Structure 1
Amino acid sequence: MTADTTSADRRAALDRAARLRQLSDIDRDAIRIAQDPQFSRWLEQVTATGGCARPIHLTGSTATRDADTGEILHRYDTRNEPGERLLVRCRNRRATVCAPCSRLHAGDTFHLVRAGLLGGKNVPADVREHPRLFVTLTAPSFGPVHRATGDAERCRPRRNAGRCEHGRPFGCPATHDTADPLTGQPLCPGCYDYPAHVLWHAHTGRLWKAFTDNLYNHLAARTGRTRTGLRRAVRISYAKVAEYQKRAAVHVHAVVRLDGANGPGDPPPAWASAEDLAAAVRTAAAAVHLRTPYSPALGEAELRWGSQLDVRPLRAFDGHEGLADDAVAAYVAKYVTKGAADTAIGLDHPITGPDDFASARLSVHVRTLIHTCWRLGGLPELAPLRLQAWAHALGYRGHILTKSRIYSTTYTALRAERAEHQGALSGADVPDVPDAVTAAHWRYIGSGHTPGATLIAAGIAEDLLRNREVARVALAERRVDEAAS
């Protein structure tokens, strides 16, 4: 046995001992929590948060009084709670941060998008008869990248491909699937336009605004009306989600709906068809062009949408061909809960310096994009773009999901409806007095769980997920039985 083997065995034994000690610490902490006299109430709080992985700890009180008599109708104070604190959900949308809250956020997103397609949540059911499209807008090319290919198809086959100025071949004869680490990586990092990639991300919001503005102009031209006349007759609503492609460039999925001038309750005129809207989407996207701020180091560049544009009609109420509404809502909800770390595209938290992500599992391509954000963010002329603050998102500054004001309901309304429903189920005895006044005093005192509490919360989250799945299957079976009968 060599000295190297002995040393490796010793390190492995030490690692096993450290893991056992850590496991023992978690067990001891879980036992301590379970033996607490207020354990049952703590368990109720954790269950109420859905097993949230990083709950917010609050201390304070609320008091509801009758405005006329001053009588206290209901009072709540955390002084009687375990640890004198109340646990509430963190509401983080990223599955990598908190899986229970991300599932809840995905459900809210599904209902928000679906209501704008089929009605419900204060949106009339007739909205399903309006022209509706599912649109995908992409980023332009910043340089050739390795692409995922199908059956024995080569990545970039080129006869006598030659080499670039950095000595790398222009082509790639290999085949890649989506799991291949080369997929999305530049053929030559030296030729890839990293500054243009970052600046395009920083201006994606402005590109979308220019696209929606153009859409009215192009729809007016196609239907033979003035812009003012069109604005008086129709209104375009949307909900969109941003997704990172394998090449670490954002593309946008959007549900676009054509309403009458007064919104979803007003049908559009007969002359405003889905075909006209689809044609206007294509020409409006192609016409968008913006210029970046002038920089002595970079000059000035023109920004456009990519040439790859997908426009698909949604399935109409009368059963014509098109994408299914529920499938589109589920598709959008899935991408809303993805954090950047899910696909190793970026980080789920801001960074404080170019070396703040040294231990993160990122490709060289993504690391170069983050460094480019940091470098360009230091240029005075680009300071308004706040590239360093958004380096973890590769310069993209927008929300993952945005919608027009009257597309459908809001997250706030959905959460209020859920809170009211849960309050009714809990049997809380809060008198319904029209003139009641509520005074609330809350203070943040921490977040997260201890190791033992994390283990218990994860078990609760798993049980709740399993219960929901069983209920979903039972509901589906009942619907099938009802349809058969």
Structure 2
Amino acid sequence: MISRLNDPHYARWATQIRRTGGCLQPIHLRGHVEHIDPATGALLHRYSTRHEPDGILRVPCKTRRASRCPACAETYRADTYQLVRAGLVGGKGVPESVTAHPCLFVTLTAPSFGLVHARREKGGKVLPCHARRDASTCPHGRVMSCTARHGADETCLGEPLCPECYDYAGSVLFNALAPELWRRFTLALRRRLAKAAGLTLRELREQAVVSFAKVAEYQRRGVVHFHAVIRLDGPAGPTSPPPAWATADALADAVRHATSAVAVTAPAAGGELARVLRWGSQLDIRPITLGGELTDQAVAGYIAKYATKAAECVGTLDRRVSALEDLAALPLREHARRLIAECLRLGALEELADLRLIPWAHMLGFRGHFSTKSRRYSTTLGALREARADHMREEAITTGRLPLFDEDTILVISEWEYAGKGYSIGDAVLAAALTCTRLPDSGGGHE
């Protein structure tokens, strides 16, 4: 740390760190970029990391996971917020008239795989967890009742009342097949809308389009459920109004039907019969209104928040788990340990190889994208990043760090190579002071 502070290039190093925005694990790049006039062959501008501190350029890691890098995850969260909100109130290329289109906020849950400890509230009062007067005793000798009024941060939340009775295989398989269950839900939703309007699917596409943006959230019991914004548009998407029959009530009816109609079958494996997995019985459908109970800001903020989360609330790891590791030695909650062990067990079965349960054991079987959207819902994350890059380029030209030239007529030749990531221990302390961020949870050093 003292050597870095006394380095004559410290000011440039500090500038690099600030430009990463507080990234905890910046990527190190080595290389150069040249801007050449194709007509004359003249070199207009050249940048090389040769003259940078340590001969490298540090750039943000751009991860979406808040558990790995809060700073970069905040950028991802903000982009997701803008993306979702643009589909509700317009902006970013979406007309403001989209506010008149029928739009619902839908939550699809997982079925029960066994009783778990939960915090229940009613009217602001905390209720007993699972109070039963005539509670039965399970085959393992446990009374299936809990009269405790759990606090919000109690570690037992999400843990089964009887781990031996809990259906760990069903939980893991539901996570693995949840993306397919969602795909079938969207198909059934369109079929129901077409049938209710007396149309074929082809005729439906000529009159209305279903657009959505969704995010996956882990419950403490270790299964995912989906929050989705579902909107009805005209045939041209958000730029055209939907037909008169395409109302919020018609959309809500189609959501209820599709939720109960779809199922996915997990193949038989390991001596167990094939099992049919469906959505849970709890279904929440609420209209989104500008001045109502559920506003566009609340919905966009809610979805964006969970876009940066993973399975950390379950007590699992934020890295992949090898089948050769000793699970007992890992810092895991017992419930998460059993879920990971079940992933490893089922993943070794040939019949379930396509589910790739072993590589995704740390995610408890879920391998889908956390946040997705349909093509016509609104703008894209790529467009938002491109706009940010254009802004930074214009700023560099304005401040004289780049010459003014037409990017479309200039030949750009670049060559980059990966040179590591992260900080040494001393650099991490200085970087935290420069950007007012917390220190990494584990040791430094280049990886």
TM over 0.5: yes
CA shift, 1:195, in A, is: 0.6
Say which SS state the counterpart of residue 423 (structure 2) adopts.
coil
CA shift, 1:92, in A, is: 1.4
Aligned to 1:187: 161
CA distance in 2, matches of 1:50, 1:443: 22
1:118 and 2:89 aligned: yes
2:229 is aligned with what amino acid?
A: V
**Paired residues for 1:334-483 under 5 Å:** 334-341=305-312, 343-353=313-323, 355=325, 358-426=328-396, 427=399, 428-433=401-406, 434-462=408-436
Query: 1:444-484 CA distances to partner (integer Å, 9 max, x unpaired)?
Result: 010001112111222233289xxxxxxxxxxxxxxxxxxxx
Structure 1 counterpart of 2:19, from 48, 58, 72: 48
> Does the 8 Å contact 2:172/2:339 carry over to 1?
yes
CA distance in 2, matches of 1:63, 1:184: 55
* Larger CA Rg, structure 1 vs 2: 1
TM-score calculated relative to the size of structure 2? 0.93
CA distance in 1, matches of 2:19, 2:353: 44
RMSD across aligned C-alpha pairs, in angstroms? 1.7
CA distance in 1, matches of 2:422, 2:106: 39
**Paired residues for 1:240-255 under 5 Å:** 240-255=214-229
CA shift, 1:357, in A, is: 5.1
> Does the 8 Å contact 1:130/1:258 carry over to 2?
yes
Higher share in helix = 1
CA distance in 2, matches of 1:217, 1:315: 26
> Does the 8 Å contact 1:100/1:461 carry over to 2?
no
2:75 is aligned with what amino acid?
A: L
Query: 1:402-454 CA distances to partner (integer Å, 9 max, x unpaired)?
Result: 11122122222211211221222232323332311211100001000111211
Moved more, 53-62 or 71-80: 71-80
CA distance in 2, matches of 1:55, 1:356: 31
CA distance in 2, matches of 1:210, 1:311: 18
1:263 and 2:241 aligned: no
CA distance in 1, matches of 2:105, 2:405: 44
Structure 2 counterpart of 1:306, from 275, 280, 284: 280
**Paired residues for 1:215-254 under 5 Å:** 215-254=189-228
> Does the 8 Å contact 1:244/1:345 carry over to 2?
no
Distance 1:257 1:432, change over 3 A: farther
CA distance in 2, matches of 1:141, 1:238: 26
CA shift, 1:155, in A, is: 1.5
Distance 1:238 1:448, change over 3 A: same
1:85 and 2:59 aligned: no
CA shift, 1:266, in A, is: 1.4
> Does the 8 Å contact 1:216/1:231 carry over to 2?
no
Aligned residues, how many? 431
Query: 1:203-254 CA distances to partner (integer Å, 9 max, x unpaired)?
Result: 0110000000000111122233332221211111111111111211101111
**Paired residues for 1:258-297 under 5 Å:** 258-297=232-271
2:404 is aligned with what amino acid?
A: P
1:246 is aligned with what amino acid?
A: R
Structure 1 counterpart of 2:302, from 327, 331, 335: 331
Say which SS state the counterpart of residue 305 (structure 2) adopts.
helix
Query: 1:354-396 CA distances to partner (integer Å, 9 max, x unpaired)?
Result: 6355454432111100000001000011111110000000000
Aligned to 1:475: none
Structure 2 counterpart of 1:67, from 31, 38, 50: 38
Say which SS state the counterpart of residue 253 (structure 1) adopts.
strand
Say which SS state the counterpart of residue 355 (structure 1) adopts.
coil
CA shift, 1:149, in A, is: 2.2
CA distance in 2, matches of 1:75, 1:255: 46
Q: Which runs of 4+ in 1 moved over 4 A?
A: 356-360
CA distance in 2, matches of 1:365, 1:337: 23
Say which SS state the counterpart of residue 127 (structure 2) adopts.
coil
1:69 is aligned with what amino acid?
A: T
Structure 1 counterpart of 2:104, from 133, 148, 153: 133
Moved more, 350-359 or 113-122: 350-359
CA distance in 2, matches of 1:424, 1:359: 52
CA distance in 2, matches of 1:401, 1:98: 18
Say which SS state the counterpart of residue 203 (structure 1) adopts.
helix
Aligned to 1:8: none
Structure 2 counterpart of 1:38, from 2, 6, 9: 9
Structure 1, unaligned runs of 5 or more = 1-29, 465-485
CA distance in 2, matches of 1:167, 1:90: 50
Distance 1:358 1:411, change over 3 A: farther
Distance 1:152 1:113, change over 3 A: closer
Query: 1:16-48 CA distances to partner (integer Å, 9 max, x unpaired)?
Result: xxxxxxxxxxxxxx2211111110001111111
Aligned to 1:98: 69
CA distance in 2, matches of 1:52, 1:463: 8
Say which SS state the counterpart of residue 430 (structure 1) adopts.
coil
1:228 is aligned with what amino acid?
A: R
> Does the 8 Å contact 2:117/2:156 carry over to 1?
yes
CA distance in 1, matches of 2:436, 2:247: 47
CA distance in 2, matches of 1:71, 1:357: 60
CA shift, 1:177, in A, is: 2.8
Moved more, 190-199 or 406-415: 406-415
1:34 is aligned with what amino acid?
A: L
CA distance in 2, matches of 1:377, 1:156: 33
> Does the 8 Å contact 2:218/2:314 carry over to 1?
no
Moved more, 115-124 or 236-245: 115-124
Structure 2, unaligned runs of 5 or more = 439-447
Aligned to 1:17: none
CA distance in 2, matches of 1:73, 1:152: 68
Distance 1:192 1:354, change over 3 A: farther
> Does the 8 Å contact 1:155/1:173 carry over to 2?
yes
Say which SS state the counterpart of residue 205 (structure 2) adopts.
helix
